[in-house]
Structure formats: C-alpha cells, structure tokens
Chain A
C-alpha cells in the first residue's frame, strides 16, 4: 500500500504507515476478538482501534499529523455510548449519543508521539516506532475507558434504503 502526504517525503510516510500497520497487527494478535481495527485511506492513512465495554465503545485513533515544518504521530483516546430512541424494522427517529467533553479528550486523551526534531532526516529504528505506537494504543484504550461520558448529542438518523412497499 502506498501512502502519500503533501508535506512529508513519500518514503518516510510509507515507512511510518507500515510501522503503524505492524503495531495494529500486534494489537489484533494480542487481543483477538476483543479489538476491532478500522483502516481508512483518504490521502493520509488513518486507523481507529475500538474495544467494546458493554454498550460503550472505547476508541483510539492513530494518525499522522503533518505541516510545513514536519510531522508527528498522534493517538487520540475517545469513547461513546449510543441509546437508540426509537427503532424498528422500518425506521429510527434518532440516536442519543453520549461522549466525553472536548476538554477531557484534549487534556487526558491526547498522546502525541514525537521522535525528536531530527527524526524526519535521521530515521528512528522502526521497531522503536512500532513499539511506541503499540504501547501508546494500549494506554489510550485504557484512558478511553476512564473518560466520563458527560455530553449528549442527538443524531437524526436515516432509514436503511429499502424499496419494498414503496
């Protein structure tokens, strides 16, 4: 898989992407059936690891944040719990979603991973990157489980598209 970024050299972005992917494979092997990995490719690679705790979903998101002066890997802890207000075979009116506050996520769940200012030129050993990402993901999932769900969001919900009876 080829990754790209508008600021970072392609060979660095690709190597970082591979290191993160390896760390996630380790997560899946360490916690089989317990964690789910969602992988996204929309320009930069983004990954989300989820672990369910009853109705609550704890999440850790990994992404590469870049700018003109360099970049870093960030891991963000988050969580949510949904209560479906009304649902049957045909319709859902809305979902009540509880989440932590932005302040809690930002202050407690934000894990920037920096490998020094020279890391873009003098690349770190990749096993160190993989290990750091893995350890940080475990920490982020633990923190995610502790974040209080204090904010309620009401999400209007569309009906699954069916044609019968139309």
Chain B
C-alpha cells in the first residue's frame, strides 16, 4: 500500500474542511475520494481522476486547453497510517469523462481511485497548491 493518499479539491472546500478539521464522507454522495497518485498540476489531477466539471467545460471548442469549471486547486496529503484500511476500498482506475452531447472525451481518466468510508482528521496536515493552467 502507498505511504500517502491524496484528496483533490477546491480552495473553498479546503477552507471549509480546515475550519472543521475533518474530511467527512458526504452522505449519499458516497465516501471520500482519494488517490495514491500525486499530481502537481490541477489539469492533470482533473484529467487522470476524471473529476467531473459542473456544467459544460469552457473553451473546449476553441482551444486545446479545457478550463475547469469545478476548480481542482489544492491537494491534501494524508499519511496512510491515518486511515483505517478496513474502510478503504480500491475503486479501480477512473473511467473517461465525455461531453454529454458530442461524446468527445474531456478527461481521459486512468488514475487510481479509492473510496474511504469514514472521516479523517486533516486539521494538522499539509495542503499543497496545485499548478493551474
């Protein structure tokens, strides 16, 4: 098993988490989504983990760059020893994410993803700013 797991999210969500100190599974949205892969670029994280955009991605018609509509801006680095392995499920590699109308692949997927079915105290952990396009 990896020594560290990573939770990718936006700055706003990170601030809410830090105010509370805990990352918590969000009800019927399932558990916490983690990866054992560390990406330094926000685009790469969103692409490999196929983190869905909210609404149509901007700029897909005009340029190669797809701007994220759901910001993936920071990553929380969680030591594996902080997780209860009984609550950690490997959910395979992320599938591709397509534009719902054109069918064009927006995010390639392929990143390893885990679902963690419990809360994790992260108030004392490092959050890393990702490079954004």
Contact = CB atoms under 8 A, between A and B. Distances in A.
A44 B54 contact: yes
Interface in B92-113: 92-93, 95-96, 98, 100-105, 108-112
Nearest to A7: B55
A160 B36 contact: yes
Contact of B102 (A6, A39, A102, A163): A102
A42 B54 contact: yes
B40 to A, nearest CB: 10
Number of chain A interface residues as a range: 35 or more
Given A41-B29, A50-B95, A164-B3, A104 B103 contact: yes
Interface in A93-136: 95, 97, 99, 101-107, 109-110
B21 interface: no
A41 B36 CA distance: 21
Interface in A23-82: 36-46, 48, 50, 57, 59, 61, 63, 65-66, 74, 76, 78, 80, 82
B100 A110 contact: yes
B26 to A, nearest CB: 6
A161 B2 contact: yes
B108 A78 contact: no
A45 B93 CA distance: 21
B116 interface: no
A15 interface: no
Interface in A126-166: 153, 155, 157-164
A104 to B, nearest CB: 7
B121 interface: no
A155 B103 contact: no
A42 B51 contact: yes
Given A82-B110, A97-B96, 9 more contacts: A1-B29, A61-B98, A109-B103, A153-B96, A160-B36, A161-B4, A161-B6, A161-B37, A164-B3
